[in-house]
Structure formats: C-alpha cells, structure tokens
Amino acid sequence: MTPGRLGYLAFMLLAVAAFFLARRLFPAPRPRPTRLESLTLGLAAFVGGTLAAKLPFVWDSGSGFWDWATWAADGKTITTGLVGAYLSVELTKLFLGIRAKTGDGLAIPVAVALAVGRLGCFVNGCCAGCPTSLPWCVDFGDGVCRHPTQIYESLFHAVWAVILVRLTQRDLLRYQRLKLYLIAYCVYRFLIEFIRIEPKWLGELTYYQVVVAGFAAFLVVQWVIDARRLRRETVDPPVVGVR
C-alpha cells in the first residue's frame, strides 16, 4: 500500500472520530428520534450514501449497472454520497412517519468530518484541480502543478463548521441549519467545478454541477415548506373566553 493511500485511510478514520466527537459535543435538539429510529435513519444514510457515492463511477465504467466488480472497485465521490444519504433519510422518515427533526444534530458533525476527510484526498493526490501557476499550486506526482482543490474544500467545511457552531450557540435557524450548509456546499461545488478536471455532461456543465443544482433547488423548496409548517405549529392557540 502506498504512503498516500495509508494517509488517506488514516484521515478517513480521523474523520469518523471527528464526526462522533462533534456529535457528542453538539447533540441534536429535542425532541429527538427514539434509539430505534436513530439506528434506522443511520442505516438509511449509510446505505443511501454508499450507493450514491459509487454511482458516478459505475455510470462511467460502461460495465453496466449490475456489474458487482465495478461497485466493489475503488472510487467514490462525497458529493453524490451526501445527496444519497440525505434523500435516503428523508424518504425513510416519510415512510416510517418519523416527525422528529434530525438535521441540526448532523450539520456540525458532517462539516467537521468532511473538513478532516478532504485532507485524506490531498495526501492521496486524488480529486485535484486544473493546472495553474498560482503560488500555492501543488504537484501531485505527475509533474503538473495544480489547484489543491482538496484543501479548498477542507477550508470550506471548516469555515462552515465554525458558522454552524455560532448559529447553534445563538439558537438561530433552528431546524434549517443542515439545509443552509448543504445549499452553501452546492453553490461551492458548482463553482469549484470550473477549476476541476471533469467531463462535460450537459452543455458546458459537468455531472456534479447538474446534481448539485438539482439538489440545491430541492433543499430550497423543502426549506420553504418546513418554514411554513413550523410557523403554523408555533401559532398561539385561540384564547377561549371565560364562561
């Protein structure tokens, strides 16, 4: 195993540890799902995220959707993994009738974990950007100096972890913090694609740009629907006259 690969695995383990540490430090607000509901939603997120993270590579392989060797091969993407995990949890909650809001308890842990995990991509030399002559460019072993897009993304998630901590401490945007963070990530990923080496998929847009544009639109619609429902639930009941 190469040093880069070992470094990648080490940072992935650190990312998992960072996730659970942040989860412990910033628990989800009440009311919370039951333990069984939490385990069910966690399983849904894991399965949906894992399958979605592999989907672009299976699509590009040309081996067919049911080629299990392609599914088992190396290669995955955080972006579609996030989308798959989020949608899987939302569908599971809808199917099981789980009404407890779970996003706020995950926003900070996810941001912290991704900030750490992207450093693993950097030491492994994967997910780099286009060639550039900027002073901070990095040669990842192919003799070409490139944008260290892994560092850019790690900084993005780290900054948002701080923002989310402040929002949590001030109790701002309750139940909408995960949506806010994911919308911001969609915008970031859409823009950063212009300095990444990815094939065009729809006109001048890459596959990931199309995915995050659709996901951001979904999140905005969900935010509006949730906000209206929460306003209805917090309206004071009518005053009953004294007889």
pLDDT for 114 equals: 96
Render pLDDT for 168-182 as a digit per residue (tens, 0 to 9): 999 999 999 999 999
Amino acid at residue number 26: F
Render pLDDT for 3-49 as a digit per residue (tens, 0 to 9): 888 998 999 999 999 999 999 999 887 778 888 998 999 999 999 99
Instruction: Calculate the average pLDDT of the chain.
Output: 88
Render pLDDT for 109-123 as a digit per residue (tens, 0 to 9): 999 999 999 999 999
**SS3 per residue for the chain:** CCHHHHHHHHHHHHHHHHHHHHHHHCCCCCCCCCHHHHHHHHHHHHHHHHHHHHHHHHHHHCCCCCCHHHHHCCCCCHHHHHHHHHHHHHHHHHHHCCCCCCCHHHHHHHHHHHHHHHHHHHHHCCCCECECCCCCCEECCCCCEECCHHHHHHHHHHHHHHHHHHHHHCCCCCCCHHHHHHHHHHHHHHHHHHHECCCEEECCEEHHHHHHHHHHHHHHHHHHHHHHHHHHHHCCCCCCCCC
| CA-closest candidate to residue 195, choices 209, 185, 183 | 209
